[in-house]
Amino acid sequence: MRSRVRRGRLPIVVIGSGVAGMATALAAAPAPVRLLCRAKDGSGSASALAQGGIAAALDEGDGVEAHVRDTLEAGARHNDVAAVRWLCKAAPATVAWLEAQGVAFDHGPDGCLQFGREGGHGAFRIVHAGGDATGAALVHALRAKVQAAPHVQWRRGVDAEALLLRDGCVAGVRVRDARGRQEVIEAAAVVLATGGIGALYAHTSNPPGADGAGLALAMAAGAATRDLEFVQFHPTALAVDGHSLPLLTEALRGAGAGLVDAAGEPLMRGLHSLGDLAPRDVVARRVWQARQQGGGAWLDAMSIQGDWSIRFPTVLKACLAHGLDPRREPLPITPVAHFHMGGVATGLDGCSSLSGLYAVGEVACNGVHGANRLASNSLLEAVAGGRRLGAALSVATPVAMQGTHRWSERGASLPREYLPALRELLWRAAGPVREGMALRDAWRVCTAAAAAGWQMRLAKALLRAMRRRRRSLGAHCREDRGCPM
């Protein structure tokens, strides 16, 4: 096993190369940064798949307080109000910073930013880049900046499997590459930017790497968690075979697409004042209910005008690849695990309960999203939170630690052949609609198999949180206690 310790200042180790990790790394200059990711080519983050945009109150007639109200309403007012207000105030500056990094947001013929509308928003305030390819545009621009940054060393193809603790403080990581070689990297600070848990479900919009590995690493070390029960299900993924399903962006409904049942009747009629643009938890439960009842659900986007190859290139390509044409036929849809509102408990500065350990982006929970995230607040939080954390770490004075060290191990992974069964278990018991007995039975399965791999232990913790919250709130719907559809 190699040990890497550079003379002079120890590096900030950032685990995860999505938008949150890259924003943190860039903002940490001039402090040295080691940016680590599991994929050999640096890909695989959920950021690159994000079809939604950045929510920001920039249009005339809109305002920060309106953005705050919509965020709180979508989050079932379980949000930390101070965190929400900070995020919404930071949104315009975040868009400007991204433009300075080379992100080309979509503009209209008049040269002004184009604004879209998505579920839960009372105004047109979503900026996109490349139509429905905003996440990919952000990743492309920030990756170019990171690769050119002299203070950042990007390490690909390594998995962080253990945290080094000295005097109770996190002081480094141990990584392993695909060939099994281990390396110790001592650090001034360790930042988790590892994304969410969607890949633990049978059907998800997330890539395979969004499996909760960073959250499990923090939990093994004793870091406090928050709101683990709140998992958002996107209501409109293409209902085709597979694990990671193509997403049909909410912006389609903002542009005029409608949700319909097997008879072509409006699916959301009479259920919410915002109709098809109701918050995601409401729409996801309705689509889930329609599918459970055997009738199915569809997204009818045939009325949308304009060039799909410009407005919705990602959706068009995915649909055509499955033999479907959204311009000529309704699309079969299903909810999918999409975003985890819970995670490592942090403040706005990214500090966890363990000194030296920080978290940012989807793996973190600072209360900004409440019980259900408002559409297009995720990329916003990833960038704004990463910039804030990186700037704080850039001027922080590392604390010298000379005490006895110990390793906190995440533990062995669940054998690959067992993962489909775990995913199906969570999909059935911990989906958009939950029932107490099913949660109990699933928890017992995970408890009995906890020694089989860290994924089982993480699933056990998720199910425990879902069992403990006995009343419905936001994305957590308990049908045994009554759940408004």
Strand ranges, E, within 212-350: 225-226, 231-238, 258-260, 298-300, 331-340, 343-345
Residues 207 and 268 in one domain: no
Residues 223 and 268 in one domain: no
What's the CATH number where 148 sits? 3.50.50.60
Residue 2 DSSP SS3: strand
* pLDDT at residue 179, rounded to an integer: 92
Given a contact cutoff of 8 angstroms between Cβ atoms, the answer to whether 361 and 369 are in contact is no
Residues 243 and 353 in one domain: no
What's the CATH number where 320 sits? 3.90.700.10
For residue 158, what is the enclosing H or E element?
Answer: strand 158-166
* pLDDT at residue 119, rounded to an integer: 84
318 is in which domain, residue-wise?
A: 235-335
The number of folded domains in the chain is 3
Residues 100 and 172 in one domain: yes
Q: Within 10 A of 129 (CB to CB), how many other CB atoms are there?
A: 21
Residues 18 and 39 in one domain: yes
* pLDDT at residue 484, rounded to an integer: 52
Residues 51 and 139 in one domain: yes
Residues 361 and 453 in one domain: no
Residues 157 and 213 in one domain: yes
Chain centre to alpha carbon of residue 4 = 31
Residues 250 and 350 in one domain: no
Residue ending a domain, among 286, 316, 335, is 335
* pLDDT at residue 51, rounded to an integer: 72
Residues 259 and 360 in one domain: no
- Catalytic residue, from 34, 125, 280, 457: name it: 280
280 is catalytic: yes
Residues 404 and 429 in one domain: no
Tens-binned pLDDT, residue by residue, of the chain (485 aa): 554 444 458 999 999 999 999 999 999 999 999 999 998 765 666 676 777 799 999 998 999 999 999 999 999 999 999 999 999 999 999 999 999 999 999 998 899 999 999 888 999 999 999 888 888 999 999 999 999 999 999 999 999 999 999 988 999 999 999 899 999 999 999 999 999 999 999 999 999 999 999 999 999 999 999 999 999 999 999 999 999 899 998 889 988 999 999 999 999 999 998 899 888 889 999 999 999 988 899 999 999 999 999 999 989 999 999 999 999 999 999 999 999 999 999 999 999 999 999 999 999 999 999 999 999 999 999 999 999 999 999 998 766 566 788 999 999 999 999 999 999 999 999 999 999 999 999 999 999 999 999 999 999 999 999 999 999 999 999 998 555 54
Q: Which has the closest alpha carbon to 423: 112, 176, 199?
A: 199
